[in-house]
Structure 1
Amino acid sequence: MIQLYEKGVYLISGVDIVENENEVKSRIGKEVCQEEAAKGTIAYSILEEHNVSGNMERLEIKFDKLTSHDITFVGIIQTARASGLEKFPIPYVLTNCHNSLCAVGGTINEDDHMFGLTCAKKYGGIYVPPHQAVIHQYAREMLAGGKKMILGSDSHTRYGALGTMAMGEGGPELVKQLLNKTYDIKKPEVVAIYLDGKVSNGVGPQDVALAIIGAVFENGYVNNKVMEFVGPGVEHLSADFRIGIDVMTTETTCLSSIWKTDEKIKEFYDIHGRIEDYEELNPKDVTYYDGCVYVNLNEIKPMIAMPFHPSNVYTIEEVNQNLKDILHEVEKKAAVSLGDAVDYQLMDKIVDGKLYVEQGIIAGCAGGGFENICAAADILKGKYIGSDAFTLSVYPASTPIYTELAKNGVIAELMESGSVVKTAFCGPCFGAGDTPANNAFSIRHTTRNFPNREGSKLQNGQISSVALMDARSIAATSANKGFLTSAADIDVEYKGQKYHFDKRIYENRVFDSHGEPDPSVEIQFGPNIKDWPEMSALPDNLLIKVVSEIHDPVTTTDELIPSGETSSYRSNPLGLAEFTLSRKDPAYVGRAKEVQNAQKAIEAGGNPKEANEEVKKILEILESKCPESQSGVLGVGSTIFARKPGDGSAREQAASCQKVLGGWANIANEYATKRYRSNLINWGMLPFITKENHENLNFHDGDYIFIPDIRKRVIDKDTDIKAYVVGENLKEVSFTLGDLTDGERDIILKGCLINYYRG
């Protein structure tokens, strides 16, 4: 079904995969240069056009457009304002698809929306009101274009199927673009995702995406690389189908994605009244890729990603055939992350030998597309979801899609089946909509199924499960009244309804400044919209306390700062910080604040010994055993250790909340994503890497670690940073900081991006 090539490959004429350089030579009749052939990728040509450094090994990218939603744009604009923002230099779209449940948190959410509207007017942006479109659907319909680049403050910023290289990053990277700075990275490797064959009846885009994620996530095959979709199988997929695969590429931990384009993508732009934005994209006749994932679409079956990760994949057929064994395996995996916080069981979901689920959801940037919903309606036509616990909710991804579904009768068919059709909203993707009952099992065509992603609160003894599936198999399960069913087992004739886009819907409702700012507009604030607190520069010496020690194989951003109801506080740095690690390590906030008191004493010109008795003892040990610790400015704060933190969301708050609570660093064996590591750096936190085996660490929760001359070591670009665990004796440990650009070093030295731009 899927094959990973161990080494790089050549692609000839966009069709033939060749591993051996000599074979390439014999095929084309001349010598081939790997370095030159690597310039033949679609990705290379787009990156080259947007790179302003003059050096393709060290890229400095300027994007064409920016996007943010309403749990990120307030913090981004506040940071940019504090750093000197005068106008949006490029089109910047502010959507309102995450905090759309305006009743949550009193006026908080709607205050954020009004902040966004007035900022769009003042600085020259575009404002998409609540319920009009989820962020990525609006970008597909109105922003994407051939060979363009878009940067978004949401991890699923992926428009590669439309010929647009898009990247999801933390807010500070958008701040840089707003201030006419660049996105600085080393040239990424490019991996071919070679699609061959045709999908079978009942197989949807989520099935293909989950199969790919299952093959590449754990081994990191495409980590921080660009996935380039090529091969003869692409032409057999509709634009909607390609988009559905593409948006899920985030879950592979790749940097970005791009696809070859053809008449079907040209038709997509034509339908949306933007045919001039289409550009045909293909790799060159001889192109070298740093790796290749061969996908035989003929062999893809309806898939399910069991709790609690999109890579925990099986075919639905496998689950139904080996139900007890697989559920038991999921329980064992879950125990690693959940520990003894809750009694997590799945065996009670077996009813009459079948898996019974209580909820189905088709929603968001992945599931809410026109074709997905039409296919679900075809399966459900004339059937009923029943009157027991099972429910089905469908969220079209935009009002134009909703309108067309109303016109062609699909919404009526869905509602006749017992389904509920709702407006465009991202809530089911992160725990702010359709939260299941305790111990319930939900199947979703959304993007993620991390622990707590659906709204569970372990600290309150609440847990439910989410499995990811395609809309077609969710509809088949719904037709079977909640018993897990593959769409491949359903005899159905898909109508293949044609989509018609009505541009008037946006013209009549979306505010578009057309790039013309109005400085006279007063920004409308709310009581929950707060400025960032002052942050200190990196001191000469650093004393950090490990206040949370996490040994899970991967730590998600949802665990670092929960989603769901906490999103109401995204515009309030101190308020949001109170939720940091609240579902993973509820004592973290208190421990971090205790040690932060010592830093506050230093900043106020006082003695840190008087602020914290524990710090006093540690400093006295350092005075006796390490006299050089008395020279220079001392900083005191906290750190967390996690084996591989940062999988998942681009949200900067996963890092900034730690900083607000006095965090100076993270210590990890590796970082799950570039975007999380970038967030740490942009908030002035040291992204330490330790090579020590996590089971035999020389430091643990509660340990103090002294890092002498840290400021000088950052300035001198030291690769090996010696530190000492402070106890009765000093125990030496060592860290590295990985590859840092000069700009990243300066940000760390200044203490955060805001300080860096203030000078």
Structure 2
Amino acid sequence: MITLYGEGVYVIKGKDPVPAHEQEQKIGKEMAAAYRDKAKQGTISYGILQTHNKSKSADLLQIQFDAMASHDITYVGIIQTAKASGMHRFPLPYVLTNCHNSLCAVGGTINEDDHVFGLSAAKKYGGIFVPPHIAVIHQYMREKMAGCGKMILGSDSHTRYGALGTLAIGEGGGELVKQLLQDTYDIPYPEIIAVYLTGTPDPAVGPHDIALAIIGAVFKQGYVKNKIMEFIGPSIKHMRTDFRNSIDVMTTETACLSSIWQTDEDTEQYLSLHGRKEAYKKLAPHETAYYDGMIYVDLSKIRPMIALPMHPSNVFTIDEFKRQAGDILRMTEKDIQKRIGGNNSAAFLTDKLQDGKFYVQQGVIAGCAGGNYGNIAAAAHVLAHKNCGNDMFSLEVYPSSQPVYMDLIRKGCVTSLMAAGAVVKTAFCGPCFGAGDTPANNAFSIRHTTRNFPNREGSKPGNGQFSAVALMDARSIAATAGNGGCLTSAEGYLDEYVEPEYIYDDMVYNKRVYEGFGKEKSDTALIYGPNIKDWPELPPLPEHLVLKVCTKISDPVTTTDELIPSGETSSYRSNPLGLAAFTLSRRDPDYVMRAKAAAMLEEIRKKEVAEDRYADSVLKEIHKKMKIVVGSADWKDTGIGSLIYCVKPGDGSAREQAASCQRVLGGAANICREYATKRYRSNVINWGMLPFQLKEEASFSVDEYIFIPFVRSRLQEGKLHFTGYILDHTVRPVSLYIEPLTENEKNIILSGCLINFNRQRKQNNI
């Protein structure tokens, strides 16, 4: 079904992949290096990256994007940061959508206040504003902004428009701020991995089945982490562009940097249908292209899939799952209990097995992955003249945009779904991040959405609530719905199905979307609701640093949803200190208390320094141990901050608040074995925290202090290895390191955060 190559691969004339060692043997040892270097330039990715590269180096990229996008969880903080950094207008098309907090159901007026702020910002700075319920962020960008050869940056991790020939990257807000200030996105040239598609998918197999199969094959071994996935091969032609879009958006769950697809006549037809024929150009590998690896996919062998809790990589075929449901569910229960705690004897998944059949309580088809036209039309076909039943099971369907919704109505698909008992709603991302359709306690939901991380469906295990989500394709969800919630594969349901041709009508965009790019009105006042607060002042990096360990998480991976919970807490994201109260609340509820204690100790230090008297007993004890390490250590040039330790933090969302919430509580560093994604590490840096790593097991404990002498001087000198000292009963060394930083990244940390860095540049007229 899927084969991963253990070495580089040459693709000759768009077909016939050849392992690198075989091709280079033919070329000869003396010519091989030059041949490979030339062939690396033959990928689709190379051409797009270099076109957007503003540096003189092909290896150290400085990218400027063609457009950007943010939704209503992230755009307020980004605009506030850019404004504080000296921005006066949006220098590139910047789309502000309102698809995450669009229900305005939590926190009084604060969600709609954010939307009003967003519209006022679009008017003032020249932005594009998409009102609530009109479109989810990524569908709007597909329909109106993406095009062949472009690059788009978004403050959402699922920013992926590769099937339309666009290299799109999801990052934290700091990277978008840099673009608003006309700075660049700086990265080393990434490795490019081919995804070579052969075979023809079965009619029952949808895009989520293919995406989950790929995620299951690559995620756990990090095969494509921080790399670009380039989809090529003869079988792209067997999938419509709308189908490809639904696969492409899920590449985020592989931990790759971005994705791009070979384009063809169907891509051209899609762009022409959306009134943008000029955005098409043929993209394909050159006659000889070298890839750093290859995922070889035989589409004909992929079957309907299910990804069980708690990650999209926890995949099985539906048939395999049904055959071994008891064993697989018991194993999954143990994994969940290990991750979130609980009674080891509890049966909260296996209790859904009845007479050998597995029953679920909810189905959801939604968002940028599931809400596309083709997925919902296929689901409507499967459910025609069927009945979801009047028991516990329910089915919710969210078309991804109003144009999609309108044509589904015209085609009768909405009628078929409603007649079967489904509820069809407006464009909304809530089910993807726990702000809509939260199942009942102990319920099991199957979803064609992007993620099934812990709490991602909205439950709160810390409060005694737990529900579970599995990912499935819309086609199999519809088959399950037609059987009253009894888990069912779509096989056999679509053998004669022909998708009705989609007709796009953007009248709703013409009537409701505010198009302000290039039309900024600088005298427009920003409209602030009472929850919208400015960022607090943040200190620069001191010469010496004392770090209090405020949490230590030993899970293999810690997601951004655990660092700062999604769901209803997202309503507070325009209030930095208000949101920070939720940091790690569903993973380590005592973290905030410990971080505040460290911040209070720093305030006591500053007061004692100002008064030139040193009386606090905790500070005295820390200082005594500091002087063992550095005899001249002085509180005047030593700061105190908090730190978190995780084995591998940052899988999942791009949201910068996973880092900024730590920072506004006094956070000064992260320590880990490995960062799960480049975007989370960038967030840590942009918020002025030190992105430490260590090679050995963490030998420190929660509430201990780690002293890092001369950290500022060493960082200024470009040093990346640091010795910290655990101030326990004895003073013990710990070896820390930082992976290479750009000069700007180094200076952002020294300044204390991106806002400080940009203010200093402005003062110095840089």
- Secondary structure of 2:663's partner? helix
- Per-residue CA deviations over 1:702-756 (Å, capped at 9, x if unaligned) read 2110000000111112232111000222101110011111110000000000000
Q: What percent identity do the matched residue pairs reach?
A: 58
Shift of 1:607: 7.1
User: Corresponding residue for 2:729?
Assistant: 728
Superposed CA deviations along residues 175-197 of structure 1, whole A, max 9, x for unmatched, are 00000100000000000000111
1:663 aligns with 2:664: no
Partner of 2:370: 367
User: Aligned partners of 1:341 and 1:97: how far apart in 2?
Assistant: 37
Number of the residue aligned with 1:434: 437
1:200–1:536 CA distance, 2 compared to 1 (3 A): same
CA change 1:25–1:466 in 2 (3 A) is same
Which residue is 1:708 aligned to? Answer: 709
1:484 counterpart = 2:487: yes
**One-letter amino acid of the counterpart of residue 699, structure 2:** N
1:673 maps to 677
Aligned residues: 755
Provide the TM-score with structure 2 as the length reference: 0.96
Once the two structures are superposed, what CA deviation does each residue of 1:100-147 show, in whole Å capped at 9, x if it has no partner? Answer: 011321000000000000000000010000000000000000000110
Do the aligned partners of 2:362 and 2:393 also contact (CA within 8 Å) in 1?
Answer: yes
The AA in structure 1 aligned to 2:6 is E
Query: In the aligned structure 2, how far is the partner of 1:654 from the partner of 1:384?
Result: 42
What is the 5 A alignment of 1:34-113?
34-113=36-115
Amino acid at match of 1:711: R
Q: Is the 8 A contact 2:156 2:170 kept in 1?
A: yes
Query: Is the contact made by 1:601 and 1:607 (CA closer than 8 Å) also made in structure 2?
Result: no
Letter of the 1:566 counterpart: T
Contact 1:609 1:616 in 2 (8 A): no
The aligned residue for residue 309 of structure 2 is 307
Q: Which residue of structure 1 lines up, in the alignment, with residue 121 of structure 2?
A: 119
AA aligned to 1:11 is V
Conserved 8 A contact 1:601-1:608: no
CA distance in 1, matches of 2:261, 2:43: 10
1:292 aligned residue (288, 291, 294): 294
Task: Report the secondary structure of 2:632's partner residue.
Answer: helix
Match status 1:389 vs 2:388: no
Q: What SS is found at the alignment partner of 2:512?
A: coil
Larger mean CA deviation between 437-446 and 16-25 belongs to 16-25
Query: In the alignment, what sits opposite 2:763?
Result: none
Q: Distance in 2 between matches of 1:20 and 1:242?
A: 28
2:462 to 455, 459, 464: 459
In the alignment, structure 1 residue 278 sits paired with structure 2 residue 288: no
Alpha-carbon distance between aligned partners in 1 of 2:668 and 2:695, rounded to the nearest angstrom: 19
Pairing 1:256-275 to 2, within 5 Å after superposition: 256-275=258-277
User: Amino acid of the residue matched to residue 642 of structure 2?
Assistant: S
Deviates more, 1:615-624 or 1:183-192: 615-624
Give, in angstroms, the shift of residue 383 of structure 1.
0.3
Give the whole-Å Cα distance in 2 for the aligned partners of 1:374 and 1:276.
28
- Note if contact 1:577-1:658 (Cα within 8 Å) is conserved in structure 2: yes
Contact 1:428 1:434 in 2 (8 A): yes
C-alpha contact 1:597 1:612 (8 A) present in aligned 2: no
Check conservation: 1:238, 1:264, Cα contact below 8 A: yes
Native 8 Å contact 1:207 1:469 kept in 2: yes
Kept in 2: contact 1:207–1:303 (CA 8 A) = yes
Distance in 1 between residues matched to 2:629 and 2:647, nearest whole Å: 31
CA drift at 1:490: 3.1
- Correspondence list, 1:6-405, <5 A: 6-20=6-20, 23=23, 33-340=35-342, 345-405=348-408
SS at match of 1:486: coil
User: Using the alignment, how far apart are the partners of 2:541 and 2:255 within structure 1?
Assistant: 30
C-alpha separation in 2, matches of 1:241 and 1:196: 16
SS at match of 1:488: coil
Per-residue deviation, residues 76-100 of structure 1 (Å, max 9, x unmatched): 0000000001000000000000010
User: What corresponds to 2:764 in structure 1?
Assistant: none
The structural deviation recorded for 1:24 is 6.3
Q: CA RMSD in A?
A: 1.7
Contact 1:9 1:290 in 2 (8 A): yes
Cα separation, 2, equivalents of 1:441 and 1:653: 29
Q: 1:638 aligns with which of 628, 635, 642?
A: 642
In the superposition, relative to structure 1, how do residues 44 and 344 fare at CA in structure 2: closer, same or farther (>3 Å)? farther
Task: Provide Cα deviations, 1:146-186, integer angstroms capped at 9, x if missing partner.
Answer: 10000000000000000000000000000000001000000
Which secondary structure state, in structure 1, belongs to the residue aligned with residue 530 of structure 2?
coil
- The aligned amino acid for 2:584 is L
- Hey, what's the Cα distance between the residues in 2 that align with 1:613 and 1:573? 31
The aligned counterpart of 1:550 is 553
CA separation of 1:610 and 1:201: change in aligned 2, threshold 3 A: farther
Cα drift, residue 458 of structure 1: 1.8
CA distance in 1, matches of 2:189, 2:645: 29
**Equivalent in the alignment of 1:747:** 748
Q: Which amino acid aligns with 1:88?
A: F
In structure 2, what is the Cα distance between the partners aligned to 1:79 and 1:300? Answer: 45
Instruction: Decide which moves more: 104-113 or 616-625.
Output: 616-625
CA–CA separation in structure 1 for the residues paired with 2:615 and 2:307: 49
Task: Report which stretch shifted further, 521-530 or 598-607.
Answer: 598-607
